[in-house]
Amino acid sequence: MLTMDDIVREGNPILRAVAQEVVMPPTHEEKETLKKMREFLINSQDDEIAEKYKLRAGIGLAAPQIGISKRMIAVYIPEEDKIHDYTLFNPKIISHSVENTYLEGGEGCLSVDREVPGYVPRHARVKVKAYNIDGKEITLKLKGLPAIAIQHEIDHLDGIMFYDHINKENPFAIPDHCPTN
């Protein structure tokens, strides 16, 4: 299983590289990697397993974060009514809302071992095209935390860190195009 020792940390240039597209259909090894990434998220959200292996409770993970510079992400977010469970190859935002949003508590990252204060502007809603674990093309329409998480993960595929988006002058300035403005 993957543990925190497998997570590449800030400072490693792989986190600043643009990851390679995965050729469809994916190989057995690529599919297994994606399944391991999803399993890490599920384990990290299990209190007993997380405590035993000292895992941070993750909701998303991109392949560059485990040292693999390929366009693969996993998102696992259990909500009240539905679980947002995505394992994706070559995810791409094909359209998004004008409206922006941000997490009130700011963002963190499994690859960043420090707190970085400030609001991270994100599209409030996104339409994402991708290939699922079976190599089938799919389209997702997301809002709320799943939308924020998938943008954070796709950023990793392009070498972008969440704090790149924080306003340098005033980290807590409400981003443009947020409903509260």
Is 109 within any annotated ligand binding site?
yes
Beta carbons within 10 angstroms of residue 143's beta carbon? 14
Q: Are 76 and 42 in contact (CB under 8 A)?
A: yes
User: Which residues in the 24-63 window bind ligand UDB by CB under 6 A?
Assistant: 56-62
Instruction: Considering only the stretches 19-27, 30-38, 45-53, 143-151, report the one whose residues sit in contact with ligand UDB under the rule CB under 6 A.
Output: 143-151
My answer on whether omega of the bond before 146 falls inside 30° of 0, hence cis, is no
Would you say 2 or 59 has its CB closer to ligand UDB? 59
Is 156 within any annotated ligand binding site?
yes
Beta carbons within 10 angstroms of residue 141's beta carbon? 11
* 66, 109, 140, 142: which one binds Zn ion (CB under 5 A): 109
Alpha helices in 70-157 (DSSP H): 144-157
User: Which residues in the 56-85 window bind ligand UDB by CB under 6 A?
Assistant: 56-62, 65
Q: Are 95 and 139 in contact (CB under 8 A)?
A: no
Choose, from 29, 80, 115, 153, the residue flagged as catalytic. 153
Beta carbons within 10 angstroms of residue 32's beta carbon? 12
Compute the distance between CA of residue 90 and CA of residue 154 in angstroms, rounded to an integer: 9
Query: For this structure, is 153 an active site residue?
Result: yes
* 8, 14, 17, 103: which one binds ligand UDB (CB under 6 A): 103
Site residues, ligand UDB (CB under 6 A): 56-62, 65, 103, 107-110, 145, 148-149, 152-153, 156
Name the site residues for Zn ion (rule: CB under 5 A). Answer: 109
Annotated binding site for Fe cation: 109, 152, 156
Catalytic residues: 153
